[in-house]
């Protein structure tokens, strides 16, 4: 049986992950409208990942015999002045999600809920990768984004990204 606070945080994380998917769909829309379909693809895949993360939390709660309560998903911000602002918003959001995962982990640790801590280990590692990817994307944009030919090549690189479902066993 899950600790009440851990249960609440895990359930809330479903909504946070679905919001992340919405946010990344909005980012994809932004880049698509600019004709940068590689960037749009990159964020479309991010959205798919976030949706799957939500489903992992959903399944974990169900497998734990805990009730899942779904909340409304807020509309993401959509007024960005340029691509760099979008990329930086993505990094800021990933840092926020990392803080959420760390908070759930701390609550599970306090409750001595080792099963949930083990479940969250994958997310802790994943968030490290997400922040690294967001930082690398910003660095590449800083290096190449101002030159049209280089931006074209970066866009082509991002268009090659393909979706790979998470391999977390519940």
Check whether 110 has a pLDDT greater than 90: yes
C-beta atoms surrounding 29 within 10 Å = 15
Mean predicted confidence (pLDDT) in 29-41: 97
Q: Please, how many CA atoms are within 13 Å of residue 106, restricted to the half-sphere of its CB? A: 6
pTM: 0.93
With a pLDDT cut of 90, the percent of the chain lying above it is 91
Nearest C-alpha neighbor of 21 from the set 85, 101, 93, 103: 93
Provide the pLDDT confidence category of residue 168 given band limits of 50, 70 and 90: low
Counting other chains too, the contacts that 140-144 makes at CB distance below 8 Å and 24 or more residues apart are 141/83, 141/84, 141/87, 142/84
pLDDT band at 166 (very low <50, low <70, confident <90, very high): confident
Confidence of residue 63 (pLDDT cuts 50, 70, 90): very high
Structure tokens at 74: 């807020």
Q: What is the CATH number of domain 4-159?
A: 1.20.1260.10
State the pLDDT at residue 71. Answer: 95
Q: Averaged over 22-33, what is the pLDDT?
A: 97
- Cβ neighbours of residue 163 under 8 Å, at least 6 residues apart? 45, 48, 49
Q: Please tell me the distance from the alpha carbon of residue 166 to that of residue 140, in angstroms, as a whole number.
A: 26
Asked if 89 contacts 16 with a C-beta cutoff of 8 angstroms, the reply is: no
Report the pLDDT value the prediction gives residue 51, as an integer from 0 to 100.
97
Residue 169 has pLDDT above 70, yes or no: no
Average pLDDT, rounded, for the chain = 95
Half-sphere exposure of 155 (CA within 13 A, CB side): 18
pLDDT at residue 89 is higher than 70: yes
């Amino acid at each position: 049986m899950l600790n009440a606070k851990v249960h609440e945080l895990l359930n809330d994380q479903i909504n946070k992950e679905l919001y992340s998917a919405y946010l990344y769909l909005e980012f994809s829309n932004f880049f698509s409208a600019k004709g940068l379909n590689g960037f749009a693809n990159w964020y479309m895949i991010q959205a798919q990942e976030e949706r799957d993360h939500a489903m992992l939390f959903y399944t974990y709660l169900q497998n734990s015999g805990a009730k899942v309560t779904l909340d409304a998903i807020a509309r993401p911000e959509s007024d960005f002045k340029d691509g760099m602002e979008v990329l930086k918003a993505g990094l800021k959001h990933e840092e926020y999600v990392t803080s959420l995962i760390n908070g759930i982990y701390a609550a599970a640790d306090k409750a001595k809920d080792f099963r949930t801590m083990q479940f969250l280990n994958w997310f802790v590692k994943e968030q490290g990768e997400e922040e690294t990817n967001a930082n690398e994307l910003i660095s590449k944009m800083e290096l190449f984004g101002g030159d049209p030919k280089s931006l074209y090549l970066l866009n082509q690189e991002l268009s090659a990204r393909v979706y790979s479902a998470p391999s977390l066993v519940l």
